[in-house]
Amino acid sequence: MLRRILLLLLLIVPALAASEKCAFCRHDGGQYPLREVDYATGSQWVCQRCLDKLSRCSVCRLATDRKLYRDGRTLCASCLKLNLANQAQAESLYNKVVKFVDGLLGDRVKPLPPVRICDDDELQTRFIEGGRAMQVAGFYQPYNPEQIYIRSYETLVEAGGTLAHEYTHAWQSRHAVQQDRALKEGFANWVEYHYLVSIGEPGRAASLTQSSDPDYGASLQRLLELERKSGKAAVIKLGRTGTKI
């Protein structure tokens, strides 16, 4: 019996290997070698020609043959399927993030500013209206109305991290004194860092320390150093009552 199964496997496995086709052009690897590409929905075979020719997803940077999304981004099938897609998902993720941040900082933000998901074009327009000029994945609007914006189709990890950061700005508006940009952004990044660690993403958390903007990256490094020496409570005290790092 066992021998029969083994024999069957010997026949089937090479047949399966031979039937691999490019997910986009359906050609086998005869002309162009097939590469295995790790989409979040699972790995797919893609031929070298398609890899060279196709556009890249704006979110995961992997090859896709999708037409432009309505806001001008290129989004692959995998990101469209798995990432933050609608207002209900944004609210459910936001509630989890708020719970984590409230637990870490020990103070709630009342009333809780609502979260709003929007496409990239709307997000950037609103952000620029607020007098700022950089590309963002989300931001905190302090008034008219107080609200947190989050960009659609971010991964749940990225979106959660962004929400933790922006919610911290809302917290600062209630519980912190006036502070310089380095402490404000460094502290928001410190909260984002701990959120990412809490969901099992220490690598993504560590990458925050490498931000090229020193108010984000270098500030976070200094707050983590303070945490190692004096504990979380010392960092939170600085975030509440300090005016600079």
Give the binding site for Zn ion (CB under 5 A).
Answer: 22, 24-25, 47, 50, 57, 59-60, 76, 79, 185, 188
Greatest distance between any 2 Cα atoms in the chain: 77
Torsion angle of C-alpha atoms 92, 96, 97, 103, degrees rounded to 10: 150
Nearer to Zn ion, 50 or 84 (CB): 50
What is the nearest approach in angstroms of Zn ion to the Cβ of residue 106?
21
What is the nearest approach in angstroms of Zn ion to the Cβ of residue 76?
3
What is the nearest approach in angstroms of Zn ion to the Cβ of residue 64?
6
What is the nearest approach in angstroms of Zn ion to the Cβ of residue 72?
15
In DSSP terms, 45 is beta-bridged to: 36
User: End-to-end distance of the chain based on CA atoms, in angstroms?
Assistant: 72
Dist CA 178 CA 184 (whole Å): 9
Nearer to Zn ion, 1 or 134 (CB): 134
What is the nearest approach in angstroms of Zn ion to the Cβ of residue 79?
3
Nearer to Zn ion, 79 or 159 (CB): 79
CB 87 within 8 A of CB 94: no
Nearer to Zn ion, 2 or 18 (CB): 18
Nearer to Zn ion, 100 or 189 (CB): 189
What is the nearest approach in angstroms of Zn ion to the Cβ of residue 88?
21
Nearer to Zn ion, 9 or 174 (CB): 174
CB 59 within 8 A of CB 81: no
In DSSP terms, 37 is beta-bridged to: 44
Q: What are phi and psi of 36, to 5 degrees?
A: -90, 125
CB 155 within 8 A of CB 83: yes
Q: What are phi and psi of 135, to 5 degrees?
A: -75, 130
